[in-house]
Structure 1
Amino acid sequence: MSHILTKTAKSALFGVLLTTGIWTAAVYHQSSKVDRRKIATSDAVSKAFRDSPAHRLVNPKQVRHTSDSRTITLHVSSKEVVDRPRVLAWMLNGFFQSWIFAPEALAFRVFFNTTGRVMTHLSGLPEHLPPPIWYSTQLSDSSLPPRNSLLFGTFQVADIWTAETDGEEECGVDIAFGSDKGTFAGYHRLSVATLKEDGESYLRLTFACMTCNPAGDKSWVETFGFMLVFHKIYAEILFRAAAGNVVRNLESRGARVLLVSSNE
């Protein structure tokens, strides 16, 4: 009997190691398209980010918050006009269809199937929502989910916006999570800007995020400082997967794409 149990345990361990190895290889493949040395990372975010409706939605009392951002610039040579909203959809898909996000998506589905509850409760959003999205295959590669859509029972499309400043045209999507009545809330912003310089075309991709404790001034980072390190690593891999999906889609359509440092 013990021999059978030992053999079963070894088989289970082998299965876990094999699955982990395949998953790790898939994560590396998705993120390898984007050189992390070309990414500009900052703990600062733009004033537009801090003053956005999504920021007020998740942080109505304007308590202290933690935020950071990642940006990469792509030099794009293409015969076709680059469509910013479509690039933004590719970016969103790369984010939520990534292998690094897959375990999280699975955990959210299991939580909902077990409890029947979703994990986002924001009082500033309407009660009647578009059909929820539970699988990454439900995401379109040409357009964003409708405003207020609930993604994986945890993320909600709080805003879809466009802006033009100093000759730059930009579009973005703000994705809220958590509860403005609880102790944890925040939002992710994915944005795409088109730039022209010396007759050359560039795309600037940005992933910014913030978290706060709406119930008080002590944020989750102050309570669990080690989580900040995990967040930065996880966010970078997610961003590389999102930006990598943009690069692959542009190249598949005949464009030449060169990653340049955002400081160049």
Structure 2
Amino acid sequence: MATNLSEAFSRSPFLLSLRQSLYSLPVRPEFLASSSFKFVNPRSHVTNTDKVVQVLPASAIAGLSDENVLALFSTGFFGGFIFGFERFILRIGGYNILPSRYTGFERPSDAVTIWNKSDIPTTHLLPNGSNLFGSFTMLDKYIATNPSEQDASYVDYGFGSDESIFAGCHRFQITRLPTQSGAESQVQMELLHFRCNPQKNKPSIAEYIERFHYVYAKALFANGIQYVITR
């Protein structure tokens, strides 16, 4: 019995993702030329970047559209147990320390505000401008009509403010990779991230906790993958 439990635990999507995902510093150049980047960092100050990537067999997301996958990943990222403590702090007023707002971004009329993880949709993405827990704003989303390696789907969540000394953005992206002869189709999931000091052209305060950020990013990513795989 103990052996069976151990095997089941070792095969959990969360732990498998922690082992199989790859962390590196460069991000896709188009992310740093996006409208989200311009909202968060309008003065083009120095940025720090990183990403977490994992390749999955297409069978792992069988029957799901790109939007379904990004919605599930968003739910796992913001509604999973790893984000739990941060979610609690934000809900009791922590968002007042670093609210999410951008002077160049006009919030659409259909945007919503989410305070409970159960309200994060798992089948579709929220409208642009929607806010999660006071500190994250959906700045942009794109769903490819014919998903491919050249046409990937993504959603951007900005945090912080261009009027503060700390801000940044998370991009969740899914790329349908080309099928190799005789091999199963694959998809690539990515968590792309940049952070900056919008007020002064110098690194953000987050650089003092670089090691913690690495561990936290990997764990949040794994929670997102877990929700996609165990839908």
TM-score by length of structure 1 reads 0.75
In the TM superposition, 1:132-211 aligns within 5 A as 132-162=113-143, 167-198=149-180, 200-211=184-195
Give the drift of 1:52.
0.7
Point out the structure with max Rg over C-alpha: 1
Distance of aligned partners of 1:52 and 1:170 in 2 relative to their CA distance in 1, 3 Å threshold: same
Distance of aligned partners of 1:210 and 1:94 in 2 relative to their CA distance in 1, 3 Å threshold: same
Verify the 8 A CA contact 2:107 2:129 in the aligned structure 1.
Answer: no
**One-letter amino acid matched to 2:126:** P
Distance 2:178 2:107 in 1: 42
Distance of aligned partners of 1:184 and 1:112 in 2 relative to their CA distance in 1, 3 Å threshold: closer
Give the drift of 1:195.
1.8
List runs of 5+ in structure 2 lacking aligned partners: 1-11
Alignment partner, residue 10 of structure 1: none
Alignment partner, residue 228 of structure 1: 210
Give the drift of 1:49.
0.8
Distance 1:192 1:85 in 2: 9
Give the drift of 1:79.
10
Query: Is residue 2:11 matched to residue 1:31?
Result: no
Q: What is the CA RMSD across the aligned residues, in angstroms?
A: 2.7
Verify the 8 A CA contact 2:148 2:175 in the aligned structure 1.
Answer: no
Q: Secondary structure at the match of 2:26?
A: coil
TM-score by length of structure 2 reads 0.85
Identity, % of aligned positions? 27
Deviations along 1:235-263, whole A, 9 cap, x unmatched? 110001101211112xxxxxxxxxxxxxx
Give the drift of 1:55.
0.6
Deviations along 1:11-30, whole A, 9 cap, x unmatched? xxxxxxxxxxxxxxxxxx77
Give the drift of 1:208.
0.8
Distance of aligned partners of 1:80 and 1:237 in 2 relative to their CA distance in 1, 3 Å threshold: closer
Query: Is residue 2:226 matched to residue 1:248?
Result: no
Query: Is residue 2:108 matched to residue 1:125?
Result: no
Distance 2:98 2:216 in 1: 23
Deviations along 1:32-55, whole A, 9 cap, x unmatched? 242x33212110001111111101
Give the drift of 1:219.
1.6
Deviations along 1:210-234, whole A, 9 cap, x unmatched? 110011112225xx64311111111
Q: Secondary structure at the match of 1:192?
A: strand
Alignment partner, residue 197 of structure 2: 213
Tell me which of 56, 59, 67 is aligned to 1:77: 59
List runs of 5+ in structure 1 lacking aligned partners: 1-28, 250-264
**One-letter amino acid matched to 1:147:** N
Verify the 8 A CA contact 2:191 2:221 in the aligned structure 1.
Answer: yes
Of residues 118-127 and 132-141 in structure 1, the stretch that sits farther from structure 2 once superposed is 118-127
Deviations along 1:194-220, whole A, 9 cap, x unmatched? 123136321110001111001111222
Distance of aligned partners of 1:178 and 1:78 in 2 relative to their CA distance in 1, 3 Å threshold: closer
Distance 2:118 2:26 in 1: 33
Alignment partner, residue 71 of structure 2: 89
Paired positions, count = 218
Detail structure 1 runs of 4+ shifted over 6 Å in the superposition.
none
Deviations along 1:72-112, whole A, 9 cap, x unmatched? 00012379544111011111111011111011111111116
Query: Is residue 2:24 matched to residue 1:42?
Result: yes
Verify the 8 A CA contact 1:188 1:207 in the aligned structure 2.
Answer: yes
